């Protein structure tokens, strides 16, 4: 083998090795810039679609399908009603911050009990603290399940099942949860 070939091969191999590393880092880029910015619907006249939830329709979608939804979906005029309802529940504060649960028409239970949908690791949470569920009209509702320290919606302690709007903070101990589109 000529010296030149060997040198080219040596540098070429290093280049390809680094290419792998760079491709791998590209793949995890979503972790580094892992947030998306959503326009608030209420100031854009889209509020008409915000309230009327059609989450039960969303339940019919297969799980991987959301990947195909473009970011700008909420602002698209032709988006239709089913884009208006909240599609996920996000923990925005507390030890579980960043956890999301897709809303697919199922009841979501919150508490320290380990069979809860969201297991709250929070000293101020009861074992069965609250639940979030769609009522008969499909409107997402939050209900306190007789917790010790209470469930707060916008600083108001819940006493009865209360309808939820996207973006309203639900506070349980140190954990804050929101519905998101």
Partner 1 sequence: MSSYDLSEDTGRSGRRRATAGRVVPRRRDNTTISPQEAPNRRNTELALLLFAVLLPVLAYANVGLAMDSKLPAGMLGYGLGMGALALVAHLLVRRFAPYADPLMLPIATLLNGLGVVMIWRLDKAGKLLSGNFPAAQNQLMWSGLGIAGFIAVMVFLKDHRVLQRYTYISMVVALVLLAAPAFFPARAEDFGAKIWIRVGSFSIQPGEFAKIILTVFFAGYLMVKRDALALASRRFMGLYLPRGRDLGPIVVIWLLSLLILIFENDLGTSFLFFGLFVVMLYVATERTSWILFGLLMSVGGAVLVASTASHVKIRINAWLDPMAAFAPKPPPGATEQIGQSLMALGSGGVTGSGLGQGRSWLINFAAKSDFILGSFGEELGLTGMMAIFLLYGLLIQRGLRTAIAARDPFGKLFAVGLASAMALQVFVVAGGVTGLIPLTGMTMPFLAQGGSSVVANWALVAILLKISDSARRPGVEPTPATEGPGGPAR
| Site for partner 1, residues 99 to 158, rule: CB under 8 A | 99-102, 104, 106-109, 111, 113-119, 121, 123, 128, 131, 133, 145
Contact 178, 92 (CB under 8 A): yes
In the bound state with partner 1, the residue whose beta carbon lies nearer, of 24 and 160, is 24
CB of 125 to partner 1, least distance (A): 12
Can you spell out the DSSP letters for 79-106? G-GGGTS--EEEEEESTTTT-EEE-SS-
Nearest-10 Cα torsion for 93, 96, 102, 108:
-90
- Asked if 70 touches partner 1 (CB under 8 A), the answer is yes
- Asked if 16 touches partner 1 (CB under 8 A), the answer is yes
Size of interface with partner 1, in residues (CB under 8 A): 73
- Asked if 179 touches partner 1 (CB under 8 A), the answer is no
- Asked if 57 touches partner 1 (CB under 8 A), the answer is no
Taken as a whole, the chain contains a residue count of 181
CB of 166 to partner 1, least distance (A): 9
Nearest to 146 by CA among 125, 165, 169, 120: 125
Only segment of 63-71, 134-142, 148-156, 168-176 that touches partner 1 (CB under 8 A): 63-71
C-alpha 115/C-alpha 153 separation (Å) is: 24
Could you say which residues in the range 155-174 bind partner 1, by CB under 8 A? 167
Please identify which residue in 47, 52, 72, 76 interacts with partner 1, judged by CB under 8 A: 72
C-alpha 52/C-alpha 28 separation (Å) is: 36
Please identify which residue in 28, 45, 77, 159 interacts with partner 1, judged by CB under 8 A: 28
Only segment of 33-41, 49-57, 134-142, 154-162 that touches partner 1 (CB under 8 A): 33-41
C-alpha pair distances (Å), 99 with each of 106, 121, 133, 140, 169: 17, 13, 18, 19, 15
CB of 39 to partner 1, least distance (A): 6
């Amino acid at each position: 083998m000529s010296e030149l070939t060997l040198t080219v091969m040596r540098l070429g191999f290093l280049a390809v090795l680094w290419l792998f590393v760079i491709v791998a880092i590209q793949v995890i880029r979503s972790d580094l810039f892992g947030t998306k910015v959503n326009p608030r619907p209420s100031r854009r006249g889209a509020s008409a679609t915000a309230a009327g939830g059609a989450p039960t329709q969303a339940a019919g979608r297969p799980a991987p399908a959301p990947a195909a939804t473009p970011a700008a979906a909420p602002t698209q005029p032709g988006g239709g009603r089913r884009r208006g309802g909240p599609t996920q529940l996000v923990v925005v504060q507390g030890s579980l911050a960043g956890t999301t649960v897709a809303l697919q028409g199922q009841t979501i239970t919150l508490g320290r009990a380990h069979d809860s949908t969201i297991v709250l690791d929070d000293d101020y949470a009861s074992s069965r603290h609250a639940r979030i569920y769609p009522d008969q009209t499909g409107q997402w509702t939050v209900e306190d399940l007789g917790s010790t320290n209470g469930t707060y919606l916008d600083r108001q302690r819940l006493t009865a099942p209360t309808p939820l709007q996207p973006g309203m903070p639900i506070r349980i101990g140190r954990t804050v949860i929101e519905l998101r589109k």
